[in-house]
Amino acid sequence: MLYYLFQFLDERYNFPGAGVFQYISFRALGAVVTSLMVAAIFGRRIIDTLRNLQIGESIRDLGLEGQMQKRGTPTMGGFIILASLLIPALLFAKLSNVYVILALVSTVWTGLIGFLDDYIKVFKKNKEGLEGKFKVVGQVGLGLIVGLTLYFNDAVKIRKYAPRLMSTSNVPDVYTDIKSTLTTVPFVKNNEFDYSSLLFGFLPDSYTWIVYVLVCIFIITAVSNGANITDGIDGLAAGTSVIIGLTIGVLAYLSGNKVFSQYLNIMYIPNAGELVIFCAAFVGACVGFLWYNSYPAQVFMGDTGSLMLGGVIAVLSLAIRKELLIPLMCGIFLIELVSVILQVSYFKYTKRKYGEGRRIFLMSPLHHHFQKKGYHEAKLVTRFWIVGIILAVLTLATLKLR
């Protein structure tokens, strides 16, 4: 909103300093500062409100050290993240930008799914929360919206530049904006992959949208559930999301900048740089929430926050065509999700074969396995963050390592 206000003041009245709102870097800085301020001003009030409404976490005794002391800690703290993310994004981003619109819709959509899950757990006294099939329906619905928009919307294009015949700045660039389902493949020299190739020539290219939408559904569902499972100990999901959000912000800036994209020989996506503002608000919101969620947590984000974090990360990655970097960039989410899948699958297999279920880990998700081994919660979270930082560095290294 402020972008349009100051653009009007600059064009109509030549208002001093109004032109600075044209710069992505300035608006990103404004977004992150605003998100931190919102978390600081409203975070404590939201926590007090949750406590007064007796919206506390019901803890199952899993035999983990310090676990039962957390009983009654306010949950649904994801509202702090939602407020700290949406307010600065609405204030500083271009609201006509299709990528920003998708990010905002994804935030509200997944936040609503998570809220319904928390509401059933807290007010309906049902520890299982929203049935899994309804969560999946919501995630599939978001995948349909995102996939169809990215495929069919005319504003979603990549820009291909023709090679220069003369090395002079006086020669204008020749380029073509094309609709495409190209995406980035890490560690490969010619690092572009077209989803139309998954048709293997059996179907015409007009069916590519079906493949692309299915990919979007799978990625959004997987990352959203991965973030949800990771949210098991104080500060783990929020801190990991800060690292991932910073990484996506760098990738969005480079992909949306003509000079850097040409220098790095990566896909140039016009208008994708606007997502830097959203990423800045996302990082600020997670950091602001960490103020209250770091060990020992004063509030839990609940599914209101965790499902939203994963869903937004997936959508941002799809928007800048870096979704194939997710296994590396979101490695913490991936290993947590895989640990649960392996544990459950192996238990069922051994129970069917031997008559009793056996386990790979002491407990899943993986962070509970390490807790069972005696690692203190705070040390465990810090080490997971360190691994997340290493994965982020490797993710950015893929821009040059091919």
The CA distance from 371 to 57, in Å, is 20
- Asked if the bond preceding 296 is cis, omega within 30° of 0, the reply is yes
How large is the average pLDDT for residues 199-226? Answer: 92
pLDDT at 28 over 60: yes
Q: Tokens standing for 330?
A: 């979101």
The CA–CA distances, whole Å, from 89 to 3, 128, 281, 389, 395 equal: 11, 33, 6, 25, 25
Please tell me the pTM assigned to this model: 0.94
Backbone angles phi, psi at 282, to 5 degrees: -60, -45
Residue 360: exposure state from Cβ atoms within 10 A (0-12, 13-18, ≥19) = middle
The CA distance from 153 to 312, in Å, is 19
How large is the average pLDDT for residues 144-152? Answer: 96
Q: Tokens standing for 329?
A: 């960039």
List the one residue out of 304, 333, 349, 324 whose CA is nearest residue 184: 324
- For the segment 30-41, what is each residue's pLDDT rounded down to a tens digit? 999 999 999 999
C-alpha torsion angle, residues 29, 309, 288, 301 (rounded to 10): 170
At 5, is the pLDDT very low, low, confident or very high (cuts 50, 70, 90)?
Answer: confident
Q: Tell me which residue has tokens 């995948």.
A: 143
Whether the CB-CB separation of 322 and 109 falls below 8 Å is answered with no
Please indicate whether residue 386 or residue 6 has the higher confidence score (pLDDT): 386
Whether the CB-CB separation of 114 and 315 falls below 8 Å is answered with no
- Residue 265 has a pLDDT of 87
pLDDT at 358 over 70: yes
pLDDT at 392 over 90: yes
Backbone angles phi, psi at 159, to 5 degrees: -110, 125
List the one residue out of 216, 94, 106, 211 whose CA is nearest residue 150: 216
Percent of the chain clearing pLDDT 70 (strictly above): 94
pLDDT at 70 over 80: no
Q: Where are the beta strands (DSSP E) in 143-201?
A: 158-161, 175-178, 182-184, 192-194
- Residue 65 has a pLDDT of 65
Whether the CB-CB separation of 280 and 363 falls below 8 Å is answered with no
